Amino acid sequence: MNNLFIKNTFLNGQNVDVLIKNNRFEKIEKNINLSSEESATIDVLDGKDTAILPTYFNGHTHAAMTCLRGYADDMELFKWLNEYIWPYEAKMTDEDIYLASQTAINEMIRTGTTFFSDMYWSPAETMKVIRQAGLRACVGLTFLDVTGEKTIQQLYDFAREQKELQTADSLIQFSLAPHAIYTVCEKNLIESKELARKLGMKYHIHVSETAQEVADCKMNHGGLTPVQYLDELGVLDENTICAHMVHLSDKDIEIVRDRKVVSVHNPCSNMKLSSGAMRVQDMIDAGCRVILGTDGASSNNNLCMREEMKFAALMAKLQYGPESVSAQTVFDMATRAGAMAFGIDAGRIEVGALADAQLVDLNNVLLQPMHNLISNMVYSADSSVVKHVICNGKLIY
Amino acid sequence: MNNLFIKNTFLNGQNVDVLIKNNRFEKIEKNINLSSEESATIDVLDGKDTAILPTYFNGHTHAAMTCLRGYADDMELFKWLNEYIWPYEAKMTDEDIYLASQTAINEMIRTGTTFFSDMYWSPAETMKVIRQAGLRACVGLTFLDVTGEKTIQQLYDFAREQKELQTADSLIQFSLAPHAIYTVCEKNLIESKELARKLGMKYHIHVSETAQEVADCKMNHGGLTPVQYLDELGVLDENTICAHMVHLSDKDIEIVRDRKVVSVHNPCSNMKLSSGAMRVQDMIDAGCRVILGTDGASSNNNLCMREEMKFAALMAKLQYGPESVSAQTVFDMATRAGAMAFGIDAGRIEVGALADAQLVDLNNVLLQPMHNLISNMVYSADSSVVKHVICNGKLIY
């Protein structure tokens, strides 16, 4: 039973107690009196001088790439991939992936994240760490054509096995994750989507990350952009998670809106690799579903959603003006919208919702003065404000 | 006497001991043996699992505006100034400025900064806090024409008094700080520069922050840009600190280079207020002196130079490509170049230099793995990595 009682924390301008029962927020009120039975069985957390806030939902990352943090920076994309990242990855063992996932998940929890949508090799290794740490994830079962037909079929078998093992209370869900349109052929793009639909899993893919990708796609697919090409293949729907989405045309934005596709904004990675700036305000205005992700630590170089929020807001202001993408907008993208995109009834501190929360230290200088807590969290805070993290009703930090 | 012995820290790939005597680095070697007299009189700091790095030099801020953190965000510049910032500031007392400076300086030290170049009202209040905290500063004596002739003359008198009181070992220096060309007339711009020259003080001014400022200047001053106008007034030299410098022409860049003007890059503030992006790579290529600043917490919204470095590097990559403004370049801007700009013999961990340093926690997950410490400090770290801060040989955090 994931029960917890938080005494005297701060929410929406007032002091409250928070009772979590069976992994959901049961009561959020001033001065809750526990029954003697409850008092005997429920752990109490002192919330004095803290505020309770939703945790972050990281829509796109490669957790195990944390072992590549700082390994290769400040260089052109293909030099970076061909001379540094891919040769390093070719030598990585399952144990490397396990250890790197530990570092990544440790960092994510410390920075207030309780869910991440991953895309990497050896998913079973990352899953071990996720279970040990007690956070949520959508584990991406990744492949490229060069992975080989046999390995792809084994990955599909792994997906079917995991579907069988799945229980209602599992914190882990899955995506089939073809890398991109330029590394996976039509047949494999379609087949993997069909399997994802059959198993009720997500479909996770990099789309329109660079201008080059769009130009190549147009040349190879009769003038279609990556979004239009994927739409023609019939793989775009509300369970499709498209990372980056930097170079979209007006027509692409309409398609993405109409298909209810989830677009993941990765501003740090897109800036650091000079990929470009997502048309985030245009997409929001059109009614697209936009969430936030950090990408991997090799192109960011951290997994901190707080920092990602600030980059998302400030990059939008440089593009569109100071009123675009407010602190509240970007905070919602990182919390509530992220949870909804993955069908998780969390991302908000409300009675009935799944109990994921961070308690932040109101005495931390980065949160002072407190004219506006959400503004402070987005524009000023860093990981030093995160005092406790709760996932699914359990204190995990 | 500011003496300190740091046992077993990490510098440039090896473990060293660091001996600080009379506020300078005296020895940096493996296994330093203290004499019995030294052992008896010098405080020892255990550097195990830390690296020693230079601290940050914040080239442009308004410390006391920290009381406005989160007070007004996500709005257009003149609405922000006219309806929120200026009315709030009009009500601020000396005590408010003292308390806000405390919050600001507390934040700066915790985030690894030991020097800031300030520009605000009631400098005596901020100076009290600087002295109590033991860090360095260049205190800006700020005015606008609307401040009134009498108050400006009092400020000049204050500058003369401070010059008299100045001792060789003072950690505080001063600048005459006319706010901007659109708020201070020619006569006052020139007079304050003459006084600054006479007293050996810096001259600190906002320049070319917005496109509007440049357009207005051209209209009012016969087609001259703000840089050209200030050059005509004769106020540009190596002791002139120009904040923002967003909208420079090629000719402006040449003037700034030739006059050895110090330009302060404030990427967060410039993005948040949609002011624009400094032509930072062009200025570096031309040989201009470019340093880094946070601006005030009301338009950033923190005073964290680590975060400012990441914004500077990533914004440049979006403008110029992934190879521009590397981690090392931006780290040097924030440390060594910042110190040099203010004539402070610090910003580097070397025998003979003034002993300003931060000890960072190598066990912190944001610094793992350690392929490249400078990359990790710029792209991954946050204030949680800062374990100790030393300024002028004294442990201040």
Q: Give residue-wise pLDDT tens across range B139-163.
A: 999 999 998 999 999 999 999 999 9
pLDDT mean across residues, chain A: 97
The CATH number given to whatever domain includes residue B26 is 2.30.40.10
Domain holding B353, by residue range, is 4-54+349-395
Residue A96 and residue B348 in contact, taking contact as beta carbons nearer than 8 Å: no
CA-to-CA distance for A392 and A37, rounded, in angstroms? Answer: 22
Chains A, B: CB contacts within 8 A come to 182
Percent helix, strand and coil across chain A, each to the nearest 5:
45, 25, 35
SS3 state of residue A57: strand
The CATH number given to whatever domain includes residue B199 is 3.20.20.140
Is the pLDDT at B169 greater than 90? The verdict is no
Residue A268 and residue A307 in contact, taking contact as beta carbons nearer than 8 Å: yes
Look at residues A321, A341, A361 and tell me which one is the last residue of a structural domain: A341
Q: Which of B273, B220, B286, B224 is nearest to B246 (CA)?
A: B273
Residue B66 and residue B103 in contact, taking contact as beta carbons nearer than 8 Å: yes
Q: Which residue has the tokens 């290769």?
A: A72
Q: Which residues in chain B have their CB less than 8 angstroms from residue A75's CB?
A: 322-323
Look at residues B341, B366, B381 and tell me which one is the last residue of a structural domain: B341
SS3 state of residue A250: helix
Is the pLDDT at B5 greater than 70? The verdict is yes
Q: Is the domain of B142 the same as that of B290?
A: yes
* Nearest by CB: B272 against A314, A371, A373: A314
Size of chain A, expressed as the number of residues it contains: 397
Burial class (CB in 10 A: 0-12, 13-18, 19+), B81: middle
Q: Is the domain of B161 the same as that of B91?
A: yes
Q: Do B372 and A302 touch (CB under 8 A)?
A: no
Task: Over range B231-243, report the average pLDDT.
Answer: 98
**To the nearest whole angstrom, how far is the Cα of B210 from the nearest Cα of chain A?**
12
Parallel, antiparallel or unpaired: strands A50-53 and A357-361:
antiparallel
Q: Is the domain of B61 the same as that of B28?
A: no
Q: Is the domain of A119 the same as that of A223?
A: yes
Q: Is the domain of A9 the same as that of A143?
A: no
Q: Which residues in chain A have their CB less than 8 angstroms from residue B369's CB?
A: 66-67, 69-70, 103
Is the pLDDT at B2 greater than 90? The verdict is no
Q: Is the domain of B38 the same as that of B71?
A: no
CA distances from A93 to A64, A67, A125, A153, B32 (A): 11, 12, 10, 21, 41
Q: Do A365 and B103 touch (CB under 8 A)?
A: yes
Q: Which residues of chain A have pLDDT under 70?
A: 1
Q: Is the domain of A90 the same as that of A26?
A: no
**Count of domains observed in chain B:** 2
- What pLDDT is stored for residue B76 in this prediction? 82
Is the pLDDT at B297 greater than 70? The verdict is yes
Q: Is the domain of B9 the same as that of B33?
A: yes
Confidence of residue B58 (pLDDT cuts 50, 70, 90): very high
What is the radius of gyration, based on Cα positions, of chain B?
A: 21
Q: Do B370 and A271 touch (CB under 8 A)?
A: no
Q: Is the domain of B66 the same as that of B210?
A: yes
Encoded amino acid at A299, one letter: S
Q: Is the domain of A23 the same as that of A117?
A: no
Burial class (CB in 10 A: 0-12, 13-18, 19+), B183: middle
- What pLDDT is stored for residue A1 in this prediction? 66
* Nearest by CB: B70 against A324, A372, A382: A372
Strand ranges inside chain A, DSSP E: 4-11, 14-21, 24-29, 43-46, 50-53, 56-61, 113-118, 136-143, 172-178, 202-207, 240-244, 262-265, 289-292, 357-361, 386-391, 394-395
Q: Is the domain of A124 the same as that of A13?
A: no
CA-to-CA distance for B125 and B101, rounded, in angstroms? Answer: 8
Q: Do B70 and A380 touch (CB under 8 A)?
A: yes
Q: Do B376 and A67 touch (CB under 8 A)?
A: no
Q: Give residue-wise pLDDT tens across range B271-290.
A: 999 999 999 999 999 999 99
CA-to-CA distance for A365 and A313, rounded, in angstroms? Answer: 22
Confidence of residue B1 (pLDDT cuts 50, 70, 90): low
CA-to-CA distance for B258 and B287, rounded, in angstroms? Answer: 9
ipTM of the complex: 0.98
Q: Is the domain of A241 the same as that of A367?
A: no
CA-to-CA distance for A361 and B123, rounded, in angstroms? Answer: 31
